[in-house]
A and B are shown apart, each in its own frame.
Chain A
Amino acid sequence: MTLSRLLSRVGFVSRVGSRSAFTSSKTDTRSPNWLRVGLAFGSSAFLWGLLFKQHSTDVHEYKVRNGLQ
């Protein structure tokens, strides 16, 4: 079974658990919330940048300490 199929079955189990008590209308799934999408991708890009910067700092620090550079 494909991963998609397997995961879709999860929806059947918790039909009760995820209904919001605050709205009576279905969420609009057609138009994306572009602000949220932008923020998500933006923070992902930020985290990746932070990771690569931290890694290069660590590598440089290690080389300096062991006299390789």
Chain B
Amino acid sequence: MGSAADDKKSLPPPGILNRNSVWLAGIGWASAMIHNAINHRPPVKSGVHRQFLLTTIGWFLGYHLTKHENYTYAKLDRDMNEYVKLHPEKFQPKEKKTFAEIVEPFHPVR
């Protein structure tokens, strides 16, 4: 199994463009704009350096959050599959019946 750090590195890394990055970058940008608005500055046109910095921070945190998320879900999946392998008696495939076998014969009353 290896150490946690080892496992993390064997997962494919997320792309630079990923969902959490975009969302947190959007939150950063929105918070910069709201900060502008609260201080009676034009929201979009002023403090571009602030907007850019907060967007960047959001994007950066999003990337690492995605990595952590991937690791968490991969670990859960692996543990679940191992459990299924260790307890095959609990996961027998059910016998499949067609509808023809279950349904009663049809006698139309017209």
Tell me the A residues contacting B by CB distance below 8 Å.
3-4, 7-11, 14, 17-18, 29, 36-37, 40-41, 43-44, 47-48, 50-52, 54-55, 58-59, 61-62, 65-66
Contact = CB atoms under 8 A, between A and B. Distances in A.
Given A55-B16, A55-B63, A62-B9, A8 B42 contact: yes
B49 interface: yes
B50 A3 contact: no
Given A4-B43, A43-B53, A55-B16, 12 more contacts: A3-B43, A11-B39, A17-B38, A29-B41, A40-B52, A44-B49, A47-B60, A51-B63, A55-B13, A55-B15, A61-B13, A62-B11
A37 B57 CA distance: 16
5 contacts: A11-B38, A18-B39, A40-B50, A47-B57, A55-B15
Given A17-B38, A51-B16, A7 B44 contact: yes
Nearest to B16: A55
Nearest to A34: B49
B37 interface: yes
